[in-house]
Chain A
Amino acid sequence: GAVVSQHPSWVICKSGTSVKIECRSLDFQATTMFWYRQFPKQSLMLMATSNEGSKATYEQGVEKDKFLINHASLTLSTLTVTSAHPEDSSFYICSARDFGEGTEAFFGQGTRLTVV
């Protein structure tokens, strides 16, 4: 399958700072990228969907000013957690899809964020 690279795989940051997570499709064009968050023992919760060149569509309850998503190219999307707080500590994972190549989506490795 296609490869999606997500970095960093883990990060620890101080409360109040911002953290950027990158998601890259290495061998296909990611026309659509999905960002998920997983709390302990919970499902992958969809945060937002972004299409290349467009503003992201956020799910209900997700603060768009706190979780900034940029999808400026067909191979890169970023999620920036702004002014992070301990309650933002979670597992974040991206998924990418080439709209013109069927319905399958491919996952990055995920990022474990810890805010101290």
Chain B
Amino acid sequence: ILNVEQSPQSLHVQEGDSTNFTCSFPSSNFYALHWYRWETAKSPEALFVMTLNGDEKKKGRISATLNTKEGYSYLYIKGSQPEDSATYLCAFMVYDKIIFGKGTRLHILP
């Protein structure tokens, strides 16, 4: 059974602070690791698609790293803003399926 773990489950961060959270996944049969941002009443939106060990990707204030050998990825948000409030999902992709973690619910406090 493929299991993807995300921690923490929920996080409250003061506006302007930086934060990070973790995704753990099986280190075998790795194909890709996706990070999604899911706002209420909207479709999950892909942030990053990562395929290579050591990948580091950045989009504005958000960045992610990938370690396929040990099976983890970190998502970093620098200088949190209210619009960053959302659920952040990571998804582990093997060749023919995509398995999601439970997500980290991020609340930005004004």
Binding site for B on A (CB under 8 A): 1, 4, 32, 34, 36, 42-46, 49, 57, 60, 93, 95, 102-110
Q: Is the interface of A mostly helix, strand, loop or mixed?
A: strand
Residues on A with C-beta less than 8 A from B4 are 43
Q: What 1/0 flags go to B57-100 for Cβ under 8 Å of A? A: 00000000000000000000000000000000101010011111
Contact A43 to B31, CB < 8 A, known contacts A49-B97, A103-B93, A109-B43: no
Please give the number of chain B residues whose Cβ is less than 8 angstroms from any Cβ of chain A in the complex: 24
Asked if A46 and B102 make an inter-chain contact with CB atoms under 8 angstroms apart, the answer reads no
What residues of chain A lie closer than 8 Å to B46, measured between beta carbons? 1, 104-106
- Which residues of chain B are within 8 angstroms of A49 by Cβ–Cβ distance? 96-97
B107 interface residue (CB < 8 Å to A)? no
Chain B window 27-68, contacts with chain A (Cβ cutoff 8 Å), 1 for yes, 0 for no = 000011010100000111110010100000000000000000
Contacts of A103 in B (CB 8 A): 31-32, 34, 49, 51, 93
Give the distance to chain B from A42, nearest Cβ to Cβ, in Å.
Answer: 7
Tell me, rounded to whole Å, the shortest Cβ–Cβ distance linking B46 to chain A: 5
**A46–B97 Cα gap in the complex (Å)?**
8
23 contacts between A and B (CB under 8 A): A42-B102, A43-B4, A43-B100, A43-B101, A43-B103, A49-B96, A57-B96, A93-B44, A95-B98, A103-B49, A103-B51, A103-B93, A104-B49, A105-B34, A105-B46, A106-B43, A106-B46, A107-B43, A107-B44, A107-B45, A109-B42, A109-B43, A110-B43
Chain A: which residue is nearest B31 at the CB level? A103
One of A4, A34, A57 near B98 (C-beta < 8 A): A34
- The distance from the CB of B8 to the nearest CB of chain A, in whole angstroms, is 14
Known: A103-B49, A104-B34, A105-B34. A43 touches B96 (CB 8 A): no
